[in-house]
Every structure is written in structure tokens, then in C-alpha cells.
Amino acid sequence: MTLPTLPFGRLGHPSTRTLFGAAALGSVSQDDADRTLDVLLNYGVNHIDVAASYGDAELRIAPWLKRYRDHFFVATKTGERRAAAAREELHRSLDRMGIDHIDLWQFHNLAAPIEWDIALSPGGVIETAIEAKQQGLIGGIGITGHGLQIAATHQRSLERFDFDSVLLPYNYPTMQSDYYAGHFKGLVTTCQERNVAVQTIKSIAAAPWMGQEHTRSTWYKPLEKQEEIDAAVWWVLARPGIFLNTVGDITLLAHVLDAANRFNENTSQSEIEERVSSLSFEPLFV
């Protein structure tokens, strides 16, 4: 099985439209991680999205990259906002993954106004990113974030710097917010004009846990039935030109990839909309 690919914006890598969200590896054993690799290879997934703050995830993919570095586009993230601390974290990520360069380095959850200004001003992480790109340590520079304000914030970030990628929520319940939907669509238009890759997250997020016992490793309550996951994943993939990052729970990964593998571009939008709108959702972001 090989999932469809799409050029990853101006960076040009033919990434599978369904990317592996390696937050799922944050607290698993190496044996479980290696079994996850088998699932990814089975579906032809060739793009890993990890972060320095995802527990042991960078360590877990290191053995994979010893054998399959040429197969995977590797993206990671830094939560640091100042240049010196970000430089240290970048080199730590390289050491943890056992590689000499990162294909995409992203500023993690760049949303809070004060942090945003620090990160994108002289002495901020942006200085380290530009320097690292010139040195060949990273290939591209991206931004990520959560919340209803993030699409608008990403637009502002693109006015400040010409980022290579953005990452943000895109699922049925979040897009029921007129505010978010309007800014998301505007952001996608800007990204298409500039050939900036658009990565989306939370495709199968159903609701906050709201005091319930967490039965999955995700911070939100996910959809679990295959037919429900199908509807949510197909709804995301029905928007052309964007990428879908998989779920933060390895026990649900194969369900998401199976849904992506069976997505049919010829399925009518109205049919997909009808299926996903019948599911029980509660918004994550208010």
C-alpha cells in the first residue's frame, strides 16, 4: 500500500498527504515504536513530524533513521523563543535523532503575543533558524499552533517572515466556528499563493476529556470506531492541497492510515459532509 503524495510546498519533497505525527511515540517503548515503523512502511508514509518536547519521541525514531534516513522527511519543533536556547535545543534534537540535518524545523505553538514578538525579533529563535539554514543544519522553517486564534496568528507570522510551512487544527467541529473558518480559509489562500505547505492536526478529535478517565494517550478524546474515523479523515482529505498529521496514539494509527488509504477523491463532498456531520463532537477550542 502506498498513500498518495503531494509536494511539500516550496521545499518540494513528495510527502505522503498523511504524515506521521510522532507525538504518539512520546511515552512508548522502543519495541512498540519499532512496530509502529512497520505500520508506516506498510502504508508508504515518508514524512515524520516530531518535537523536542514530545517526551522520548526523538529518541524512539533514532534507530529508524539509522536504517531509513533517505526514506523519511524529518520535521521537528522547538519551543524555545530566544536564539541561544533554541540553538542548544536544535543541536540536542540532532543528537537525539542521530542525524546531521533536519528537513523542517518548526517554532512550536507560536501563539502567545509576547512569545511571538520575542521569537520573531532580533535575538529570537528566528535568528538561530536563519543561521542554521545557511549552515545546512535545517532545510526549511515552519510555525505551528493550536486554538481558535492560530489561523489569524499564522497570517500575521507570514507577514513578518516567509515561512515554508504552517501547522494548525483542521477538523469538522473546529471549522463550525465562523471566526476560525474565515481565517483558516484566508490562511490557506495565502499559503497557496506563496507555495507554503499547510499541515493539519486533530482530524479525529471528538471532544475534550472533561474529567473523564483518559483511555487513550491523546490529550483529547478521539474517535475510535473505524467508520467514524473514516468520515473525519475523508472530510480533511477532501480539501485539496493540505496534509493530515496522524493521531497521537499508536493504537489508532493504523485506523487513520487505513481510512486515508481508502479515501476516494471522487466521493461527493455532500456525502462526506453528511457522514461527518452525523458524528458526536464537542469543540476542543472555545
Report pTM: 0.96
Instruction: Determine how many CB atoms are found less than 10 A away from the CB of residue 51.
Output: 22
**CATH number of the domain to which 176 belongs:** 3.20.20.100
Instruction: Please say if the pLDDT value at position 62 is more than 80.
Output: yes
pLDDT score, position 267: 86
Task: Please indicate whether residue 212 or residue 223 has the higher confidence score (pLDDT).
Answer: 223
Predicted confidence (pLDDT) at residue 151 exceeds the cutoff of 70: yes
173 falls within a domain = yes
Cα–Cα distances (Å) from 218 to 24, 26, 286, in that order, read 8, 11, 19
Q: Name the residue type at position 206.
A: A
- Mean of the pLDDT values across residues 260-271? 90
- The pLDDT score that the predictor gives to residue 66 is 97
> What residues make up the domain containing 117?
5-277
Number of domains observed in the structure of the chain: 1
Mean pLDDT over each residue of the chain, to the nearest integer = 95
* pLDDT bucket at 216, cuts 50 / 70 / 90: low
Residue 268 domain-assigned (yes or no): yes
**pLDDT for residue 207 is more than 80:** no
Under 8 Å between Cβ of 2 and 44: yes
Contacts 24+ apart (CB under 8 A), 211-217: 216/249, 216/251, 216/252, 217/24, 217/26, 217/27, 217/248, 217/249, 217/250
Kindly state the average pLDDT of the residues 199-215.
Answer: 80
pLDDT of residue 266: 84
284 in any annotated domain: no
What's residue 215's pLDDT? 65
286 occurs within a structural domain: no
Name the nearest CA neighbour of 73 among 28, 133, 34, 17: 17
Contact 101, 137 (CB under 8 A): yes
* Count of residues making up the chain: 286
Question: Does 151 reside within a domain?
Answer: yes
pLDDT tens by residue, 92-141:
999 999 999 999 999 999 999 999 999 999 999 999 999 999 999 999 99
Q: In this model, does residue 24 exceed pLDDT 90?
A: yes
Q: Using the predicted structure, report yes or no on whether residue 220 has a pLDDT greater than 80.
A: no
Longest dimension (CA), the chain: 51
Give percent of the chain with pLDDT exceeding 90.
85
Nearest to 216 by CA among 192, 166, 250: 250
> Looking at the domain assignment, is residue 46 inside a domain?
yes
Q: Would you state the pLDDT for residue 251?
A: 93
Of the pLDDT bands very low, low, confident and very high (cuts 50, 70, 90), residue 221 is: confident
| Cα-based angle 39, 43, 47 (whole degrees, multiple of 5) | 90
The answer to whether residue 29 is domain-embedded is yes
- Give percent of the chain above pLDDT 70: 97
Picking from 22-26, 172-176, 208-212, 278-282, which range would have the lowest pLDDT averaged per residue?
208-212
CA–CA gap between residue 31 and residue 29 (Å, rounded): 5
Q: Is the pLDDT of residue 12 over 90?
A: yes
**Alpha-carbon torsion angle 180, 183, 188, 193, nearest 10:** 180
